[in-house]
């Protein structure tokens, strides 16, 4: 079993109604690997600048994350600044500085080329294709994207989709991609464009899994104190693929468990700013909440006389 993530490692400045943090650890590859490493071994391919705090990723290394593919080059690290109101499903982007990430060209080492499962974080679809050209024989490819690429690099994205096993997007993105207002219709349209499975991340409303044989809905685990939703989607992806790698399966039952696992780990992420909640998290805590998740959604059949 082996899992590779290609994406951003960033420094975020975030403000929510519950506080503010400047230049804290962020990025899709960071959240993904922090989540997935609770379940399996993960390798990261990305880039940071020479201003990146050297100790910020120590907790990932202690958890066994392979950072050999994380380049450090002269310049400033990718930075994002955002603000949330009381509707924590929508971030207002105040500033984006690509910096060294602007010229990022993923290079896979010998070990990364052999990865069995790959998560292509939210980067230019041309770069996502370049990763797949270097990969030798992945058994499962999952890709994220965003509205910027859907409108600006649509041709490259449509070229990518037939090579994707799981497309992981939010409501607005799947609607934009498919040109459909209804999320279910949009997911099926994305499948016709090539993606075998579509997972729609719906924030506080959970996640929807649509493949050729089934649809499955997982609610979000109810959290009373949501502090910072940044990275919840990438944490979901890390939990989802981390469990599939741990189970070494993508059968219908495993896909359902993976969807719930993604929601479970994402529910921890939002409890504190940045990756603070994920730093000290362990699998025993995750397992307890996963089991509580099962109890939350369990209900009995109706008696026969109700007909």
The DSSP string of 13-35 is: EEEETTEEEEEEEE-HHHHHHHH
Report CA-CA distances (Å) from 158 to 22, 154, 178, 186, 192.
Answer: 37, 6, 11, 15, 11
Report how far residue 269's alpha carbon sits from residue 262's, in angstroms, rounded to the nearest whole number. Answer: 11
Average pLDDT in the 169-177 region?
A: 95
Q: What is the pLDDT of residue 184?
A: 93
Tokens of 100: 């060294």
Q: Where are the domains of the chain?
A: 3-297
Q: Is 60 helix (H, G, I), strand (E, B) or coil?
A: helix
Fold of 3-297: 3.40.1190
Q: How does pLDDT run across 37-87, given as a tens digit for each residue?
A: 999 999 999 999 999 998 999 999 999 999 999 999 999 999 999 999 988
Q: What is the pLDDT of residue 88?
A: 84
pLDDT at 194 over 90: yes
Please report, in angstroms and rounded to a whole number, the separation of the first and last CA atoms in the chain: 48
214 pLDDT band, cuts 50/70/90, is confident
Q: How does pLDDT run across 264-274, given as a tens digit for each residue?
A: 999 999 999 99
Tokens of 301: 């059949």
């Amino acid at each position: 079993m082996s899992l590779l993530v290609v994406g951003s490692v960033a420094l975020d400045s975030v403000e929510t109604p519950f506080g503010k943090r400047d230049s804290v650890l962020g990025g899709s590859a960071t959240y993904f690997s922090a989540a997935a490493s609770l379940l399996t071994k993960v390798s990261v391919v990305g880039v940071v600048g020479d201003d990146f705090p050297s100790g910020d990723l120590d907790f990932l290394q202690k958890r066994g994350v392979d950072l050999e593919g994380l380049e450090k080059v002269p310049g400033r690290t990718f930075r994002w600044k955002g603000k949330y109101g009381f509707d924590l499903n929508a971030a207002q982007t105040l500033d984006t500085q690509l910096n060294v990430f602007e010229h990022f060209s993923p290079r896979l080492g010998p070990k990364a080329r052999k990865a069995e499962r790959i998560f292509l974080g939210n980067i230019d679809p041309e770069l996502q294709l370049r990763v797949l050209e270097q990969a030798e024989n992945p058994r499962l490819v999952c890709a994220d994207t965003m509205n910027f690429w859907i409108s600006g690099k649509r041709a490259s994205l449509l070229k990518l989709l037939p090579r994707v096993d799981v497309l992981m997007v939010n409501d607005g993105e799947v609607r934009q991609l498919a040109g459909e207002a209804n999320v279910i219709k949009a997911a099926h349209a994305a499948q016709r464009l090539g993606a075998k499975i579509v997972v729609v991340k719906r924030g506080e409303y959970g996640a929807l899994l649509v493949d050729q044989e089934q649809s499955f809905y997982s609610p979000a685990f109810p959290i009373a104190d949501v502090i910072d939703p940044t990275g919840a989607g990438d944490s979901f992806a890390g939990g989802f693929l981390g469990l599939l790698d741990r189970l070494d399966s993508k059968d219908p039952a495993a896909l359902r468990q993976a969807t719930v696992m993604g929601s479970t780990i994402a529910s921890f992420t939002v409890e504190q700013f940045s990756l603070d909640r994920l730093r000290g998290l362990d699998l025993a805590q995750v397992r307890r909440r996963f089991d509580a998740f099962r109890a939350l959604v369990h209900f009995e059949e109706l008696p026969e006389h109700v007909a």
